[in-house]
Amino acid sequence: MSRYEILNALLHLLVFFLGAGIGSFLNVVIYRLPRGISVNQPRRSFCPTCKNQIPMWLNIPLLSWILLRGKCAKCSSSISPRYLGVEFLTGVLFYAVFWKVGGDWLSLKDWGPQVLCLWIFVSLLVAGTFIDIEHFILPHEITIGGTVVGLISAAAVPALVAEELHLRGFLISLASAALGLGGLWLVVELGKLAFGRKRYAFDKPQSWSVTQPNDEEPPVVTLGDETYGWADIFMRASDRMIINCSDLKVNEQAWQNVTAEVWMEKLKVRTASGELEEFSLENVTRLDGVTSQVVIPREAMGFGDVLFLMMIGSFAGWKAVLFTILVASLLGTVLAGFWKLVGRSEWSAKIPFGPYLAAGALFWIFYGQESLTWYFGLMTRGQM
């Protein structure tokens, strides 16, 4: 084997393990960012259970989790397989980007800047996906911060948005981010108007309540046998849940045949005669009753998804925005149909829209242009 072949093989291995190492850092981001913990302090990773800081020799990407069998070396508590999965996935994506865009070590100066920018992009997609799956949020550090990085990247490497001039790269990136923001925001708002409420009418009266198990967690809503997280119902301050109550208890007060309007931070009780009493939810220690009809606000996605698509547009351009929306919608529809087919319709509600957007963006990176060429080729042949 020649020196060139040896160096090239080493480069391929290095790229994968570099990605796995970045994946280890992304695990820190995924755990700490939604919990409001600094990603820099403490500097070393720690066990989620015993909080013991993990020494460097026990924090080797991929190998440590496998050799320790997914357990903490000190307290033996289980460490989620997600840590191994994120490291492996990031390693695979880094290598896939290198394989798609890069070349050999001799031409590093030609492919290096674009690959570096795409590595940052896929890292943001991975972090955003797993945070959204676990917490149903997309932090601004990922979406808005990522958009700023995307604008800088497109200005420095205009090939990211299929341009050659730096200024045009920046302008196309800015316009694409605006398209992602405005386009998906319009979809969200129109969907809210068309499908913004879900009405439940019960044959028999059902008990309901709003409780808060502890001060560190948001309240939960129990309706009959179903339990809903606060964020599942209230996405914005204007959302409200309307409950027709045959009986209602708020703290020490009780009513019959009233309408309760539960908002994100307040409660309104309206009597049949039109009298209205308002409470701050901070001062409500008991809220329960019996109902036969409930109207719950709903929407297909939150504003975090809109900002996520804005970030995708800043890195990949306007075609990627449209392509990502299409692929994400198709994936969501197919998976929802699959879960319904196997009798698990509720599972589709457990996956937010952010991961579908990330999947669409990744598909664009690796197969987007080829897919468009194939599609328009079919269209052209069909018209001949």
Per-residue model confidence (pLDDT) at position 110: 67
Q: What percent of the chain has pLDDT over 70?
A: 88
First to last CA, the chain: 52
Angle at 61 between CA 55 and CA 67, to 5 degrees: 80
- The 10s digit of each residue's pLDDT in 352-361 is 788 999 999 9
Per-residue model confidence (pLDDT) at position 314: 97
Per-residue model confidence (pLDDT) at position 188: 65
Residue 250, beta-bridge partner list: 253, 287
Per-residue model confidence (pLDDT) at position 307: 92
Per-residue model confidence (pLDDT) at position 116: 94
pTM equals 0.75
- The 10s digit of each residue's pLDDT in 202-230 is 888 999 999 987 777 788 898 888 888 88
Contact 230, 218 (CB under 8 A): yes
- The 10s digit of each residue's pLDDT in 101-144 is 876 655 666 678 999 999 999 999 999 999 988 888 899 999 99
User: Rg of the chain's alpha carbons, rounded to an integer?
Assistant: 25
d(CA 295, CA 86): 39
Q: Which of 151, 119, 79, 104 is nearest to 6 (CA)?
A: 104
For the chain, what is the mean pLDDT? 85
Say which residue, 47 or 28, is predicted with more confidence: 28
Per-residue model confidence (pLDDT) at position 201: 80
Per-residue model confidence (pLDDT) at position 347: 61
Per-residue model confidence (pLDDT) at position 155: 96
- The 10s digit of each residue's pLDDT in 267-323 is 999 987 778 899 998 889 899 999 988 988 765 556 788 899 999 999 999 999 999
Q: What are the boundaries of each domain within the chain?
A: 1-109, 136-189+303-384, 197-297
Kind of pairing, strands 253-263 and 287-297?
unpaired
